């Protein structure tokens, strides 16, 4: 398969500093390679270049290789866990919505397992949130030094974008709540097309806002000067958050399995007592996000733990 594509567009996979240094000669090399055979950029070549560019990004971010010193690698691992946590929160909110009032759909005698799994998700979510908050609080003194040292200019753009998105979320939430009050329970839960669409758009806006704040957090986190003690705490907290995410994912899987066997009608929204497939696409998408977040967080935690050992050895 071939596509007409300007080789220069492939540079977007690489980090800006790399593009500044190697961009022109890299594009010339790609053009020479293609010019010699008269070939176009193949999909394989594009994928290969994209992978090389992403690897370069990972190396420069401290998520691969040993280009950064150990403290930078510990920080990179912890920040990856933070990003994974943000994605997990989005999935968690979706799960919360999808499981709304599930207990009323399950016969009382069969309620223990799904209820227990759901409670486990709630309790562990609190533990993980507290761990994230402790991590943020531990970084506050370094953040204050960073701001006093003139660091605001480096992060103002990120913070401004996230703030604008937050204001938009607040404004749309007020509108959505007012709209919801004029609807019945059934209309609010899938019975009204326009409201469903507006709710989906609002959910996307919330997820985008969370993503923008996470980007701002990473931009700040990469610039802070943290002591070895704080880095050690951040690495430990990253492990706690990863363990919590893993536990919650398992609990959600147990909840899904329990509901599929005890109250499948709840999953596909049919009359109580009816049978049907245990597969629910929105729940499957939610689980996929959770699993992806757990994998990313596990990598970040392992990265932070290994780099922490290097940090200790270097001291």
Partner 1 sequence: MLRPRANDPSVLILTSLADGPKHGHALAKDIQGFAGASLGPGTLYGAITRLEERGLIEPLAADDRRRPYRITAAGRDTLAQALAEMRRVTEVGQARLALGPVGLS
The answer to whether residue 240 forms part of the interface with partner 1 (CB under 8 A) is: no
* Minimum CB–partner distance for residue 48 and partner 1 (Å): 5
The answer to whether the beta carbons of residues 88 and 290 sit under 8 Å apart is yes
* Minimum CB–partner distance for residue 50 and partner 1 (Å): 8
Q: Which span (22-30, 130-138, 205-213, 274-282) binds partner 1, by CB under 8 A?
A: 22-30
* 21 vs 119 by CB, closer to partner 1: 21
Name which of 26, 291, 119, 68 is nearest 127 in CA terms: 119
Q: How many residues bind partner 1 (CB under 8 A)?
A: 22
* 56 vs 280 by CB, closer to partner 1: 56
The answer to whether the beta carbons of residues 23 and 11 sit under 8 Å apart is yes
* 52 vs 253 by CB, closer to partner 1: 52
Assigned token pair, 281: 């696409």
Alpha helices (runs of H) in the chain, residue ranges in sequence order? 16-37, 43-61, 70-98, 112-148, 152-181, 185-186, 193-221, 228-262, 264-268, 281-314
Q: Which span (20-28, 180-188, 211-219, 260-268) binds partner 1, by CB under 8 A?
A: 20-28
Site map 23..62 versus partner 1, x via CB under 8 A:
-xxxxxxx-xx--x--------x--xxxxxx-xx------
Go through 200-219 and write b for each residue having 16 or more CB atoms within 10 A of its CB, e for each that does not: eebeebbbbbbbbbbbbbbe
* Minimum CB–partner distance for residue 45 and partner 1 (Å): 6
* 54 vs 120 by CB, closer to partner 1: 54
| Alpha carbons 92 and 99: distance in angstroms, whole number | 10
The answer to whether residue 66 forms part of the interface with partner 1 (CB under 8 A) is: no
Element (H, E) at 2: strand 2-3
* Minimum CB–partner distance for residue 300 and partner 1 (Å): 22
* Minimum CB–partner distance for residue 28 and partner 1 (Å): 4
* 16 vs 190 by CB, closer to partner 1: 16
The answer to whether residue 71 forms part of the interface with partner 1 (CB under 8 A) is: no
Nearest 10 degrees: CA dihedral of 296, 302, 304, 310?
A: -150
Q: Please spell the DSSP secondary structure of 250-274, one letter per residue.
A: HHHHHHHHHHHHH-HHHHHT--TT-
* 52 vs 224 by CB, closer to partner 1: 52
Name which of 171, 154, 151, 175 is nearest 163 in CA terms: 171
Q: How many CA atoms lie within 13 Å of 25's alpha carbon, on the beta-carbon side?
A: 4
* Minimum CB–partner distance for residue 26 and partner 1 (Å): 5
* Minimum CB–partner distance for residue 30 and partner 1 (Å): 5
* 54 vs 123 by CB, closer to partner 1: 54
Residues lying near partner 1 in the complex (CB under 8 A) are found at 18, 22, 24-30, 32-33, 36, 45, 48-53, 55-56, 67
């Amino acid at each position: 398969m071939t596509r007409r594509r300007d080789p220069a567009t492939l540079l977007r996979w690489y980090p800006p500093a790399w593009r500044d240094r190697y961009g022109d000669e890299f594009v010339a090399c790609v053009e020479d390679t293609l010019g010699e055979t008269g070939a176009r950029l193949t999909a394989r070549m594009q994928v290969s270049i994209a992978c090389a560019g992403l690897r370069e990004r990972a190396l420069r971010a401290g998520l691969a290789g040993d280009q950064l010193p150990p403290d930078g690698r510990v920080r990179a691992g912890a920040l990856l866990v933070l990003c994974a946590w943000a994605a997990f929160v989005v999935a968690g909110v979706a799960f919360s919505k999808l499981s709304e009032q599930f207990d009323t759909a399950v016969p009382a005698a069969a309620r223990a397992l799904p209820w227990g799994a759901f409670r486990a998700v709630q309790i562990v979510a609190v533990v993980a949130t507290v761990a994230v908050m402790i991590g943020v609080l531990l970084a506050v003194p370094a953040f204050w030094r960073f701001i006093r040292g003139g660091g605001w200019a480096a992060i103002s753009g990120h913070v401004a974008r996230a703030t604008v998105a937050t204001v938009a979320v607040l404004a749309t939430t007020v509108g959505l709540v007012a709209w919801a009050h004029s609807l019945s329970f059934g209309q609010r839960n899938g019975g009204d097309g326009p409201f469903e669409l507006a709710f989906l758009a609002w959910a996307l806006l919330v997820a985008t806002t969370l993503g923008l704040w996470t980007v701002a957090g990473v931009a700040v986190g990469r610039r802070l000067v943290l002591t070895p003690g704080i880095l050690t705490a951040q690495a430990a907290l990253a492990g706690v958050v990863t363990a919590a995410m893993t536990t919650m994912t398992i609990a959600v899987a147990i909840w899904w399995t329990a509901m599929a066997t005890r109250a499948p009608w709840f999953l596909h929204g049919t009359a109580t007592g009816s049978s049907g497939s245990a597969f629910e696409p929105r729940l499957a998408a939610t689980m996929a996000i959770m699993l992806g977040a757990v994998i990313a967080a596990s990598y970040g935690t392992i990265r932070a733990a290994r780099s922490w050992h290097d940090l200790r050895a270097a001291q």
